[in-house]
Amino acid sequence: MTDTFKRITPEQAQAMREQGATFVDIRDPNSFGAGHISGSTRLDNQNLGDFIAAADLDHPLVVVCYHGHSSQGAANYLIGQGFSDVFSMDGGFELWNSQYPEHVARASDE
């Protein structure tokens, strides 16, 4: 394993999703509620500690933000918290939504 996160495309992320990778979304609650990758968990400062405490640190973890910039810092932080297999998705949710709209959950769906 490496001590830095890896940047991946939405296509690579989708393949990882199909293999059971964990997805975390660091966008604000309203944006997450309006639409997020199906099965993803919203992470913020309030639930981060509980998430880390309950997580399998060796399980692949994909971090998603709006456009793929903020997720890089969050991915780096999670590596520092002991996660070994962390990915930042380039293009963020916006690119995912344009490529995989069928894999987007919206508040009206849940």
Query: 88, 77 in Cβ contact below 8 A?
Result: no
Q: What angle do CA 19, 28, 45 make, to 5 degrees?
A: 85
Annotated active-site residue 14? The verdict is no
Could you list the beta-strand ranges (E) of the chain. Answer: 6-8, 22-25, 36-37, 41-42, 61-64, 86-89, 104-105
Catalytic residue among 65, 75, 78, 89: 65
The secondary structure of the chain in percent helix, strand, coil, rounded to multiples of 5, reads 45, 20, 40
Catalytically active residues are: 65
